[in-house]
Structure 1
């Protein structure tokens, strides 16, 4: 019988541990797709801006989704300005407006890491609208409508920009500004303290959509929406990022932490699967059951308990008598003890024995006498040890 239960149990444990490690790696290493889509004009969830984008199309306002790095947009606009200046001398190109809806509340000190192109964009004289810069929490009610030139705006946040620190506000109350603007270099920087100013959840709040539309269109010029921030890429951007389909490019782009975690998981699985500190697994050989031997042992146990020595002697004596006839070549016809004795004595290689006393002994009175008789009976099958003749 093979003992597979411990091995199956161990296999299950190894599989569950490996699965837990892989799930943990996926949870920790996979990008948060749902969070990244928050604020995207492609996203139709409550935190998306698809409804606001469609409202602009209904008004005839053209908004272009930009799905490449903003540095590429700056290069493109710079090239257009050079061409325009060459064709129309002394006519400055019109500034562009870029909307960046952050996927969540982001601290202002963390903006350079997320939006490294901001200084260059403003220095070029363009306008930038950023929604979702984290500001301090105040005592303001969490949910309340605020008045603006575009109409009542529903706000669900206690965060405010401290009053007096901004050069102009588009939405504020006594606790501070929710939307404010300031001029940096040659550009204008407009900031909102919430990333959900005109999200889909406010599709029934006309003032929210109208305020954001006014922020991006009030000064004219083309309007761009940064979708690259939310993980959307056009074909050229994907090709530039991938740079090839080989695994070397994959390794070059993959963070070392993820690579190390994957290698650790593979190593642990291999160690658990190949760990045989006691050697290779060996299956137990099934026991061969000898029915005749088992029957004889069971019968012997019964006879021993019943002290049936006479039955044992009679049965074994008859069986031994038949075996002796066969060994002496006398056939199967029963012969007398005297005939067996005569045939026995004619065999030079047979030990001298009194067959009559062996085949018909007195009934043993105990186990010891029975064992002695069995030994003498077995001696009939032992060959005679001849002594070499000496020489004078």
Structure 2
């Protein structure tokens, strides 16, 4: 794909990560960007991610083969009007929003159906801004494409090929189905996480004992509550009907769970937990899914100088590659728990055996 030209309107976490992925995997690509932050553009130019910074949505974008709308959703109408004036006839227009109905309606009103394919990279984290963007954010993540009915198959296949070059997994959906699906697996979980955090906040004692001991499952399930409030406010206001309908179903499920709990129905409670466990495990076992099996161990270590280096040295001496490593201090003692993740089960098992031989307390975390 020689001399491909891509324009970015907005260069935050997602836009920046897409630009980095394109730059990393298509060496001859040319990237033009506009962002309201001069510092963002300066940094992108300095790092070589952007070849040209535009002062506005102007003729700088007239040679672009693709234009990515990555600014906040509330700016889409104004940005679409500006882009329409400068984009060339065969340019493909796309976006990165997590709700698709609004942008599809706006595109239709602007008369741009024949050149628009909605895009939603199912990736991200709690951090925001170009400074936190990275090409690897898109690797093995689903990248949903929502073409209009007027887009040609050739345009769709070309964009799908571009997504593959980003090392993401393209998935083509109708935009209405996209909004229903993401309401269940993305939007509703943020509401649940935020509600749980607020519950602990409201029910905690004056000495904050709940907050102090919160770890493990609470930390995992509420991690996404640290996301940007304004973004999730806008998502809720943009996908209200789908989220509300699924939230109603979730409340009914919680009510049924509570009734079994109050009645101490042993079999019913067991079945609920077991059904959830089996279905959740099926996500991990699915070869095409983004949730991959994790091969990790936890190792109890003394909180003293050289403890971590000793373990890493032992594993390196055996030729075992570490995928990820981190220390968690969440126990009553002053010691820590070292979590080490490996690329494969064989390495995990061998590492556990080696460390046990050296006197460490080790637990397998095969999830």
With normalisation by structure 2, the TM-score equals 0.24
**Which structure is richer in relative contact order (CA contacts within 8 A, separation 6 or more)?**
1
Between Structure 1 and Structure 2, the one with more helix by share is 2
Larger Rg: 1
